[in-house]
Amino acid sequence: MPYSSRGFCIVNVSSFAGHVLPKVLVPRHVFKKVEISPKAMSDKLKSYVHHFPKKQRSNIAYPVSKTFVIWYSKHIAAELGTREAHIVSVSPGSFSTPMGEKESDNGAAALTQLGAIKRFGRPEEIASVLAYLAEKSPVYLTATDIAVDGGDSGLMTKKDMANMAK
């Protein structure tokens, strides 16, 4: 980011999925390879996912990719913090959009029942968080993931995670 001015902002969008896998199933050690060769990292992650039964691969690959977004945001925040950059990731839960509603039958509706709010989020709720983060004012808010999921990730138990993986 040599051409960015002081105090710039990067907001990476992850997903609630970045919080659902047990830590033991996420090969975080592979993420560091992105600095040397993004392709080598990608190849290693593909190889890792192929160790799972074919039916479960997408249920592993997507959350691993979203966990990477969270990890990478924190990783680059340390490097760019001296330039007063604020780098965060945002992990939306289930939202009432055409795409979100398509996922309703695939577990998204049941997922909302695990959280505090017990409903799909409204588009303006995530939009207001993203707009706030894009302003220059929250420089001190950096190297973190902001879950905008109605409390789903904060209240989900290990048992809930295991049930989702089935």
**pLDDT digits over 48-77, tens only?**
999 999 999 999 999 999 999 999 999 999
In contact, 124 and 93? CB cutoff 8 Å: no
Residue 32's pLDDT is 96
- Residue 165: per-residue pLDDT: 64
**Single-letter amino acid code for the residue at 109:** A
Alpha helices in the chain (DSSP H): 28-31, 38-49, 57-80, 98-102, 108-112, 123-134, 152-155, 158-165
- 132 is a catalytic site residue: no
Tokens, residue 91: 């992990």
Average pLDDT, the chain: 90
SS3 148: strand
CATH number for the segment(s) 9-165: 3.40.50.720
Tell me which DSSP letter residue 147 carries. E
Q: pLDDT tens digit string along 17-46?
A: 999 888 999 999 999 999 999 999 999 999
- Catalytic option among 3, 48, 62, 132: 62
pTM of the model: 0.91
Share of the chain above pLDDT 90, in %: 63
